[in-house]
Amino acid sequence: MTIRDILTYPDERLRQVSGPVVQFDAALQANIDDLEETRLAGPAAVGIAAPQIGWFQRVVIVDVSGRKKTRSHGHLVLINPEITEWEGFVLGREGCLSVPDYTGNVVRAERIQLHALDREGKEQSFEMEGFEARAVQHEMDHLDGLLFLDRLVSRRQDLFQRKVYKE
Amino acid sequence: MLNWYMLTLVGKDRPGIVARVTTTLFEAGCNLGETSMIRLGRNFTVMMMVQGRDADRLRGALQPVVDELQLTLHIDAIEPGLHQRLVPDVCIRVHGADRAGIVSQVTSRAEQAGLNILDLESDVGGTEAEPIYILQIEGVAAQGVDAIRAALAPLQSDGVKVYVHAIDTLIG
Ligand SMILES: [Zn+2]
């Protein structure tokens, strides 16, 4: 396993659209292991997407299980993920391994239905909400060449949009 | 050798001020750091971190714009400070009937409970007869969010609503 360099904005390669995984071979497994190793090496990231290490295939890792009071499906390797349903929206603060020293507010769907393959190529589907759903949406954006910077909203406009009643 | 300055400009708001000021700074070879520009009442206010050679040259470059737009200019030398951003972990929102001293009460109690304020804005809405007060604060809760919530709970009365919630920043 190797800790890879993380591409940082404005590296143009972060802007490209990644292609689907078609072969579930040893090379894929090695890349997934590197991706996880790289995620764990940096500042406490709850997710990472393959393009962030210069691997342009549709693979993301999400793990919010280490956070208290957070609903979670545990450690997830999501391959060729697709969101099939979105519900609600909520504002939250995001930062990114590929955008050092900046955080900002972004609107995401509050609940999602998600289909993906696991690292063996087996179908899996999830219903997710809150922080985990946000993490998946953030990581999946990377697969389409998008960063949270593309979705920033002004703090000054959000007073009564944020869900202040739900902690 | 470029130094950092905090540049403050205040004046009657009118269209085009920001563009004029930033263009002038750019043409004078200055770099911008963090900036905050907002209309308060009828006034244009801006504070910007500007990197330039020296304060006199900055002032000289801006003087024509300052005179023409009738702005008040203030320049302070500051320590270089980009990439020093603190990430807020708590957000406080207060709104309700306009009440004397509410900002002072909220900030004093919160600071005693460990709050370091990074960002505060307050506004008065509603009507002139029945003004409502809106306050938003983001900061770092050195003693935790619950300590701040407990400290502010007594203020929640007489038509004043206080919300305290954690900001969970997602890194991914
Ligand atoms: Zn990211």
Q: Which segments of chain B does DSSP mark as H helices, in order?
A: 17-27, 55-69, 102-112, 145-152
* A109: contact with B, CB 8 A cutoff: no
pLDDT, residue A161, reads 44
> Which chain A residues touch B163 with a CB distance below 8 Å?
164
Tell me, what DSSP letter sits at residue B164? E
Report phi then psi at B3, rounded to 5.
-115, 160
Residue A95 has its nearest CB partner, among B138, B165, B169, at: B169
Strand partners, A125: A115
Q: Which residues of B touch A97 (CB under 8 A)?
A: 171-172
Expressed as residue numbers, the domain containing A144 is 12-161
CATH code for the domain in which residue A129 is found: 3.90.45.10
Q: How many CA atoms lie within 13 A of A42 on its CB side?
A: 24
Give the torsion through C-alpha atoms of A106, A110, A112, A118, to 10 deg. 60
Chain A contacts of B169, Cβ < 8 Å? 93-95, 103
**Which of B28, B21, B27, B22 lies closest to B58 in space, CA to CA?**
B28
pLDDT of residue A157: 52
Interface of B with A in 29-48 (CB under 8 A): 38
What is the tens place of the pLDDT at every residue in A24-71?
999 999 999 999 999 999 888 999 999 999 999 999 999 999 998 899
Q: Do B172 and A43 touch (CB under 8 A)?
A: no
Beta-carbon separation of A92 and B168 below 8 A: yes
Q: What average pLDDT does the structure give for chain B?
A: 93
The pLDDT confidence band at residue A162, using thresholds 50, 70 and 90, is: very low
Question: How far from A16 is each of A146, B30, B128, CA to CA, in Å?
Answer: 8, 34, 53
Compute the distance from residue A20 Cα to the ligand 1 centre, in Å. 19
By the CB < 8 Å criterion, does A94 face chain B? Answer: yes
- C-beta atoms surrounding B46 within 10 Å: 19
pLDDT tens profile B20-36 = 999 999 999 999 999 99
- B67 CA → ligand 1 middle, Å: 46
Tens digit of pLDDT for each residue in A108-154? 999 999 999 999 999 999 999 999 999 999 999 999 999 999 999 97
Is the residue at A27 inside a domain?
yes
Backbone phi, psi, residue B77, to 5°: -70, 135
Q: What's the farthest any 2 CA atoms get from each other in chain A?
A: 50
The confidence score (pLDDT) of residue A155 equals 65
ipTM confidence = 0.89
In this structure, is residue A118 part of a structural domain?
A: yes
Contact flag B171-A95 (C-beta cutoff 8 Å) = yes
Rounded to an integer, what distance in angstroms lies between the CA atom of residue B89 and that of residue B147? 13
| Any domain includes A108 | yes
Instruction: Give the distance (Å) from ligand 1 centre to CA of residue A139.
Output: 6
Asked if residue A3 belongs to a domain, the reply is: no
pLDDT above 70 (res A166): no
Chain B hits for A139, Cβ within 8 Å: 172
Please judge whether B169 and A96 are an interchain contact, meaning their C-beta atoms are less than 8 angstroms apart: no
Cβ pair A103:B169 closer than 8 A: yes
Kindly state the DSSP code that residue A162 receives in the 8-state scheme.
Answer: S
CB neighbours (10 Å) of residue A146?
15
Residue B83's CB: how many other CB atoms inside 10 A?
A: 9
pLDDT at A163: 44
Residue B17 reports pLDDT greater than 60: yes
Tell whether B14 is within 8 A of chain A (Cβ).
Answer: no
pLDDT digits 0-9 by tens, A63-114: 999 998 899 999 999 999 999 999 999 999 999 999 998 999 999 999 999 9
Q: Is residue B103 predicted with pLDDT exceeding 60? A: yes
What global pTM score does this model have? 0.88
Q: Is A139 a catalytic residue?
A: yes
Q: What is the pLDDT of residues B123-168, one digit of tens each?
A: 988 898 999 999 999 999 999 999 999 999 999 876 889 999 999 9
Domain assignment of residue A61, yes or no: yes
Q: Determine, yes or no, domain membership for A157.
A: yes
A2: in domain: no
> CA B86 to CA B83: how far, in whole Å?
9
Q: Please tell me the total count of domains within chain A.
A: 1
A84-98, B89-103, B104-118: range with lowest mean pLDDT: B89-103
Question: Is A146 contained in some domain?
Answer: yes
Residue A165 has a pLDDT of 41
User: If contacts are CB pairs under 8 Å, which of residues 147-166 in chain B contact chain A?
Assistant: 163, 165-166
